[in-house]
Copies of this chain bind each other. A is one copy, B any other.
Amino acid sequence: MMRVEVHKFALGAPDDLSALRAALDAGTVRAEQIVALIGKLEGDGFARRLAAGATARLLAPYLDCTPEEAERRFPMVWSVGADGVISPHVTIFTRDDAVAGDGQTRRLVLGTAFAEPILPEEIGRIGQVRKMMVAIRAAMADAGLDDPRDLHFVQTKVPALTVAQIAAAQAAGRDLATSSPQQSGDLSTAAATFATALVAGELTEAQVTDAVIGRDADLYSSLASASSGAEIVRPQVLVFGMSTRGSGPFTIGHATMRDAIDAAGVRAALRSAGLDFGEQPRAAQLAQVVSVFAKASPDPRGTIRGRRHVMLDDSSFPAHRHIRAAVGAVIASVIGDTAVYVSSGSRHQGPPGGGTIAAIVRLGE
């Protein structure tokens, strides 16, 4: 029972939301209908704060609330790292619950939820998995989805621990899964991903134990995308699916990039979203592609199709920047658009060295 609209705007800088402002002023986007955003930013971690603050301050007057309230109103997934050709942009999702689907045509639906706060000692463990499962199911309910087979993409944003938080927790006698801030984020996204896989029926409860979270790369979800941030208190969940309850021109599909150069995986995501083509999509079809979301990691085994890669050996350039630059360019070369969302750190989110990829297409009403 919803009409979802998907708007992609170029960002002139992390705090340059002039394109969104114009859409708000023109009425093509209504602030009170925004339910989520996923954005890709240039710069470092501070760009995320700059973007989040600027968005909240832009929306506040339209929502008749304070910027602080606007910032907490809906999930904002801001990711930094516009590496290689990747062009900074944001995808804004609006939802109008007054418009019902026709009960026959499947269209994009979207639900969101916040999870319960994760305790430091739960991070990266079954405790976090359980809380995330509750939230993912709540987001599915919010989306009006009851069959996991209708899911196409589950984006989670989960907490990571800082040095200070780790020290405090350990001083309080809490047993943590890791004492490394970096690893706490990795384990946290791993737990969120296993929660997605369990809800989606990709894995069974018996397979998911503390011992495999963040470790057994052969266990993975094909529709999870997870990010972590030290600023996150309550994890955020966005679920995207297809339903006859959905209305509007947009569809979503997903596939798996089996490695960093898997252009066929990109095309498979486009087909999954409903574009029907032979070897290559037509120009008119590419014009229908709105947003692509992908996860990526350097293959931990050190090779791609038998060839050695050096991303993990490079002491001067972080591996996550190498892989984003590579995968972003591959996707852009298929869809002809460099405004693609690629997030690094894909452990369990697709096979080792590969990653989840989802595509939203304006297929028509």
Of residues 44 through 87 on chain A, the ones whose CB sits less than 8 Å from some CB of chain B are 44-47, 49-50, 53, 82-87
In the complex, A333 has a CB within 8 A of chain B:
yes
The stretch among A92-100, A135-143, A260-268 that forms the contact with chain B is: A260-268
A263 near B304 (CB under 8 angstroms)?
no
* Known interface pairs A307-B339, A308-B12, A315-B44; A85-B163 also in contact (CB < 8 Å): no
- Of A87, A164, A323, A333, most buried by chain B (CB within 10 Å of CB) is A333
In the complex, A248 has a CB within 8 A of chain B:
no
The stretch among A109-117, A324-332, A357-365 that forms the contact with chain B is: A324-332
Q: Size of chain A's interface in residues, with CB distance under 8 A?
A: 63
Encode A139-177 as 1/0 by CB contact (under 8 A) with B.
000000000000000000000000110000000000000
Choice from B50, B304, B315, B332 contacting A85 with Cβ under 8 Å: B304
In the complex, A321 has a CB within 8 A of chain B:
yes
Q: Which residues of B contact A311 (CB under 8 A)?
A: 84-85
Choice from B12, B85, B314 contacting A261 with Cβ under 8 Å: B85
In whole angstroms, what is the CA distance A45 to B316 when docked?
A: 10
A316 near B317 (CB under 8 angstroms)?
yes
* Known interface pairs A163-B302, A305-B336, A309-B338; A326-B50 also in contact (CB < 8 Å): no
Encode A243-278 as 1/0 by CB contact (under 8 A) with B.
000000000000000001111000000000000001
In the complex, A33 has a CB within 8 A of chain B:
no
In the complex, A232 has a CB within 8 A of chain B:
no
A42 near B313 (CB under 8 angstroms)?
yes
In the complex, A280 has a CB within 8 A of chain B:
yes
In the complex, A10 has a CB within 8 A of chain B:
yes
In the complex, A322 has a CB within 8 A of chain B:
yes
Distance between A360 CB and nearest chain B CB, rounded to angstroms: 17
In the complex, A229 has a CB within 8 A of chain B:
no
In whole angstroms, what is the CA distance A82 to B163 when docked?
A: 19
- Can you pick out 26 interface pairs between chain A and chain B where the beta carbons lie within 8 Å of each other? A13-B46, A15-B46, A15-B49, A43-B45, A44-B315, A45-B315, A50-B50, A50-B53, A83-B325, A84-B323, A84-B329, A85-B261, A88-B310, A163-B301, A163-B312, A261-B332, A263-B263, A263-B334, A304-B338, A307-B339, A315-B318, A316-B318, A322-B325, A329-B330, A330-B330, A333-B333
**Residues on A facing B (Cβ under 8 Å):** 10, 12-15, 42-47, 49-50, 53, 82-89, 163-164, 260-263, 278-280, 301-302, 304-305, 307-318, 321-323, 325-330, 332-334, 336-339
